Amino acid sequence: MKHSSKSVTGIAALLLTMALGLGPATLSAETIAIIGTGAVANALGPAFASFGHDIVYGSRNPDRDSVTSLVARTGASASAATQAEAAAVADAVLLAVPWNTVEAVVTNLGDLSGKIIIDPTNPRIVGDDGLRDYAVETSNGELIQGWAPTARVVKAFNTMGWETMLDPGASGGPVTVPMVGNDDDAKAFVAELVRGLGLEPIDLGPIRYAHAIESLYLLWGNAATLGNPFQYHFRRAPRPQR
Ligand SMILES: NC(=O)c1ccc[n+]([C@@H]2O[C@H](COP(=O)([O-])OP(=O)(O)OC[C@H]3O[C@@H](n4cnc5c(N)ncnc54)[C@H](OP(=O)(O)O)[C@@H]3O)[C@@H](O)[C@H]2O)c1
């Protein structure tokens, strides 16, 4: 395991607290675990750290060179650990992993009670004709809420590429981030992260609407397969007056 001295202290404190039977510890109100160290983690981790949050990356191999350099780029308070260790010390957990690994990942993260889970995943299967289709009956957002019923799941960041997360201005105007989830406080926390990135949050209701924003990915991907590639940006505009 590779981590900063701050997290060595934090994880030791967590293990001591658990050994004393005091239950899971919260080290800071602003510790965010980012599970996965790919494109989304590389975009959002350093950005969230720049707002003052402590970032702990959860990786299958936290000692890998690419993880070490991501931690160094993220800042002095950043660290890396196993996925379960990262989730244990965090208040919010971003699932920056492939959509079809989420069930195994979530069920291996330990006690997620009360934690905010941010879900940017887009489930899809690709048929013989190369077109993407729905991969789950409901949505990954709802499934995650079911696998972690006492956590507070917020679907967000799934309607844009990592490039837009890093540089919203490149889209030519404000970009809106649709969010759904059952817990208003959790959505308020994610909305602050969204605003910090220079994006605009919009609350579109409870987690049962996750399927609506997950389906946007299918349209985007299928248009490319059909020879009509496009980039889209969700953007609020005034409603026309009748
Ligand atoms: N790329 C985008 O622009 C974008 C935009 C919006 C949403 N998303 C969604 O966000 C999620 C992450 O996307 P990404 O582009 O960052 O993906 P990615 O570059 O493929 O990275 C995913 C990370 O997940 C971990 N991982 C891979 N396989 C795993 C497994 N079997 N079990 C547990 N962990 C595993 C890996 O980290 P370790 O090797 O360190 O464990 C890997 O770096 C996806 O669900 C994607 O659909 C992506």
How many Å apart are CA 185 and CA 82, to the nearest integer? 27
pLDDT of residue 11: 41
pTM score, whole prediction? 0.90
Average pLDDT (158-172) is 93
Q: Is 176 in the pocket of ligand 1 (CB under 6 A)?
A: no
Q: Band of the pLDDT at 173, cuts 50, 70, 90?
A: confident
Residue nearest to atom 43 of ligand 1 (CA): 38
Q: Which atom of ligand 1 is nearest the CA belonging to 37?
A: 43
How many Å apart are CA 132 and CA 127, to the nearest integer? 6
Q: Band of the pLDDT at 30, cuts 50, 70, 90?
A: confident
Residue 119 alpha carbon to ligand 1 centre in Å = 11
Residue 43 alpha carbon to ligand 1 centre in Å = 12
Q: Is the pLDDT of residue 20 over 90?
A: no
Nearest to 156 by CA among 191, 113, 105, 198: 191
Q: Is the pLDDT of residue 14 over 50?
A: no
The amino acid present at 102, given as its one-letter code, is V
Q: Band of the pLDDT at 12, cuts 50, 70, 90?
A: very low
Residue nearest to atom 15 of ligand 1 (CA): 39
Q: Is 206 in the pocket of ligand 1 (CB under 6 A)?
A: no
Q: Band of the pLDDT at 23, cuts 50, 70, 90?
A: very low
- List, in sequence order, every residue forming a beta bridge with 31; answer none if it has no partner: 54
Residue 102 alpha carbon to ligand 1 centre in Å = 10
Residue nearest to atom 30 of ligand 1 (CA): 101
